[in-house]
Amino acid sequence: MSDLPEILFDILSRLPPKDLIRFLCIFKVWYATINDHRFIKAHLQRSIQTNSGRTILLKSRNAPPSDFFSSPFDDSETFGTAVKIEQPLKCPDDSSTILGCSMNGVVISKASKD
């Protein structure tokens, strides 16, 4: 039974972030494990190592300035179907959006009025 925390750590580190957020309120031990800086680092490293797929961020001239799309991009340089990215914060349609930076799947953008 002494290996149980290591097994829990290994299982949780394989789950997608959306599931981890849901699991925060199940047990205090899970909450502590998921919020531990070592777990966060291990989860990120596993995600980087196992994620061989790449995604490209697209912008359409025909869409409102705040709309972005993503498309899978594989080693054969083939694009998949573009999907509109649902943004948690909406920008006014008359604003222009500037892409700030991207790192480890997190995209930072800025909306401003001209």
- Identify the pLDDT of residue 38: 92
43 and 81 co-located in one domain: no
Q: What percent of the chain has pLDDT over 90?
A: 3
Q: Are residues 78 and 108 in the same domain?
A: yes
Residue spans of alpha helices (H) in the chain: 4-13, 17-23, 28-35, 37-50
The answer to whether the beta carbons of residues 55 and 71 sit under 8 Å apart is yes
Tell me the mean pLDDT in the region 16-45.
Answer: 87
Q: Which domain holds residue 33?
A: 4-50
Same domain for 66 and 41? no
Q: Based on the structure, what is the number of domains in the chain? A: 2
Which of 23-27, 46-50, 73-77, 84-88 bottoms out in mean pLDDT, i.e. has the lowest? 73-77
Q: How far is CA 40 from CA 21, 33, 76, 78, in A?
A: 12, 9, 32, 32
The verdict on 102 and 61 lying in the same domain is yes
1 pLDDT above the threshold of 50: no
Q: Are residues 11 and 29 in the same domain?
A: yes
Same domain, 98 and 66: yes
Q: Is the pLDDT of residue 20 over 80?
A: yes
Q: What is the pLDDT at residue 96?
A: 60
Crossing angle of helices 28-35 and 37-50, in 10° steps, is 70
Q: What is the pTM of this model?
A: 0.47
Q: What is the pLDDT of residue 79?
A: 72
Q: 83, 70 in Cβ contact below 8 A?
A: yes
